[in-house]
């Protein structure tokens, strides 16, 4: 058991070393994995947006022109009309232990409590 764990640790450090040598530095590796995480987040959001827009247009809930007006309205909710929504960078407080974790963390860094996924940054009337 212990030998197995040691072998696994040796394997992990060997693969990490190889990856580090290939990319140049561990800083490069960190930046690459952050870029990959952001790419996946953007692609996920693109899927959600495309799905919602197709449903709205297909079900004739609103027309494309109305959708553009809504984009303009939602754009100003963060205080700046700049064609994007400012990301909320405030920490999220764990309901279980009360400590702060980054907004992007799926669960509490201290106790592991899963955070609720919130699709909406801004709620009507909030």
CB of 104 to Zn ion, least distance (A): 16
In this structure, are residues 117 and 100 in contact, taking their beta carbons and an 8 Å threshold? no
Per-residue contact flags (x/-) with Zn ion for residues 34 to 63, judged by CB under 5 A: ------------------------------
Question: In the numeric block, which tokens belong to residue 9?
Answer: 């640790």
Residue 96 sits in the site that holds Zn ion (CB under 5 A): yes
Q: Which of 58, 56, 59, 89 is nearest to 70 (CA)?
A: 56
Tell me whether residue 33 or residue 96 sits nearer to Zn ion (CB atom): 96
Q: Is 111 in the site for Zn ion (CB under 5 A)?
A: yes
Q: Which part of the chain contacts Zn ion (CB under 5 A), choosing from 24-32, 39-47, 95-103, 115-123? A: 95-103
- CB neighbour list of residue 48: distance below 8 Å, 6 or more residues apart: 119
97 lies in the site for Zn ion, by CB under 5 A: yes
Whole-number Å distance between alpha carbons of 21 and 32? 14
Q: How far is the CB of 107 from Zn ion (least distance, A)?
A: 8
Q: How many CA atoms lie within 13 A of 110 on its CB side?
A: 11
* Interface with Zn ion, residue 113, by CB under 5 A: yes
> Phi first, then psi: what are they for 114, rounded to 5°?
-70, 135
Contact status: 110 vs Zn ion (CB under 5 A): yes
Closer CB to Zn ion, residue 11 or residue 110? 110
């Amino acid at each position: 058991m212990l030998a197995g764990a040691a072998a696994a640790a040796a394997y992990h450090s060997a693969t990490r070393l190889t990856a580090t040598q290939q990319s140049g530095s561990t800083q490069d590796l960190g930046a690459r994995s952050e870029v990959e995480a952001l790419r996946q987040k953007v692609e996920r959001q693109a899927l959600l947006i495309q799905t919602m827009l197709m449903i709205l247009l297909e079900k004739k809930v609103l027309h494309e022109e109305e959708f553009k007006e809504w984009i303009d309205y939602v754009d100003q909710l963060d205080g700046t009309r700049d064609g994007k929504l400012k990301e909320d960078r405030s920490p999220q407080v764990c309901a279980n232990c009360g400590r702060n974790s980054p907004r992007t963390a799926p669960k509490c860094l201290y106790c592991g409590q899963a955070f609720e996924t919130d699709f909406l940054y801004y709620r009507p009337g909030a």
